[in-house]
Copies of this chain bind each other. A is one copy, B any other.
């Protein structure tokens, strides 16, 4: 899927800022693609963009209306339908981050077909994929892995890609989850593919490239997560990383969604990910650590980052607090 920009960010009747988390992430990383927002009565989220009607957004050049909000029960109700049908009528594509598929709403499908516009359900994947072949392909790849889900892997990957571009390096962020796909404009929700094709999906989205080009692959889950480790495993094998970055959130008391499970330590996370990465790329190295220190004060954060650097002799950053320059320095040595 290739989602055309610029975007009109549909906020619907989002009950709070958290419900618009995906939209906020898109705005943060692709402000130049987000020309306006459209809210319905009762909306409690705000991206700080100009509020536009469908007609105004169309006149401003919008190609796609983006559903980057969570709603109650995942249902696309009558209040939304009017706006979505108007967007289709104006010739916009719709890109949808909800679990509910646009493709299961006949009224939208018919309207989209009649108008010749596209409906993207980015949390799903229905296309054909190859089984992973494990064959070494040219180009360099770095993959964000984690002690747990939601520890900053996407943010880290985006920060690496931005830093590389700033230095004039050739790089592409490769999205493997819904927010990442909106930000990249393309990608595959790897956790939504049939399990036989996980590594094949990653081989597809991070294909052969120029020898000095970096694919920065967004990670998913964790090899230590009892629900999702299979996804993480396929991602590691499919991306054939030249380098992995270990991501972590230091205040988490248990694995996300699994109260009985403690987080692995950084050493174990590093060793086990590296072992599996070396199956498809024997030269893979750990290029650093990215720690989300949001819950720590500045002194505690700096102390932690310094301690990890000293323990492993590798760069340790918080992408928000310190940037990722020291990790990109390390990657440039590869």
List A residues at the B interface (Cβ < 8 Å): 131-136, 190-196, 198-200, 223-224, 226-234, 237, 257-258, 260-261, 272, 275-276, 279-280
Q: Which of B226, B257, B275, B279 contacts A237 (CB 8 A)?
A: B226
Taken together, the copies of this chain in the complex come to 2
Q: Which residues of B contact A131 (CB under 8 A)?
A: 227-228, 257
CA distance A161 to B226 in the complex (A): 26
CA distance A276 to B260 in the complex (A): 16
- How far in angstroms is the closest Cβ of chain B from A175? 16
Q: Which residues of B contact A224 (CB under 8 A)?
A: 279
B192 touches A226 (CB 8 A): no
CA distance A190 to B224 in the complex (A): 20
The A contact surface, by secondary structure, is helix
If the complex has contacts A132-B226, A227-B133, A260-B135, are A190 and B199 also in contact, measured as CB distance less than 8 A? no
CA distance A322 to B198 in the complex (A): 37
Q: Which of B227, B231, B260 contacts A230 (CB 8 A)?
A: B231
Known: A199-B230, A224-B279, A230-B231. 20 other contacts (CB 8 A): A131-B228, A132-B226, A132-B227, A134-B258, A134-B261, A135-B260, A190-B195, A191-B194, A196-B228, A198-B231, A199-B226, A200-B227, A226-B237, A226-B279, A227-B237, A229-B237, A229-B276, A229-B279, A230-B234, A232-B233
CA distance A223 to B224 in the complex (A): 14
Q: Which residues of B contact A196 (CB under 8 A)?
A: 191-192, 227-228, 231
Q: Which residues of B contact A195 (CB under 8 A)?
A: 190-195, 198, 230-231, 234
CA distance A196 to B261 in the complex (A): 18
CA distance A260 to B130 in the complex (A): 18
A192 touches B192 (CB 8 A): no
> Which 4 A-B pairs rank lowest in CB-CB distance, beginning with the nearest?
A134-B226, A230-B234, A230-B230, A191-B196
Query: Which residue of the partner chain B has the closest CB to A237?
Result: B226
CA distance A272 to B193 in the complex (A): 25
A280 touches B226 (CB 8 A): yes
CA distance A275 to B271 in the complex (A): 12
- How far in angstroms is the closest Cβ of chain B from A242? 16
- How far in angstroms is the closest Cβ of chain B from A51? 35
- How far in angstroms is the closest Cβ of chain B from A191? 4
Q: Which of B132, B190, B230, B261 contacts A233 (CB 8 A)?
A: B230
Q: Which residues of B contact A261 (CB under 8 A)?
A: 134, 279
Q: Which residues of B contact A237 (CB under 8 A)?
A: 226-227, 229-230
CA distance A76 to B99 in the complex (A): 34
Q: Which of B191, B194, B227, B280 contacts A192 (CB 8 A)?
A: B194
CA distance A191 to B191 in the complex (A): 13
Q: Which residues of B contact A200 (CB under 8 A)?
A: 227
Query: Which residue of the partner chain B has the closest CB to A240?
Result: B226
CA distance A198 to B194 in the complex (A): 9
Query: Which residue of the partner chain B has the closest CB to A236?
Result: B229
CA distance A192 to B196 in the complex (A): 6
CA distance A199 to B224 in the complex (A): 13
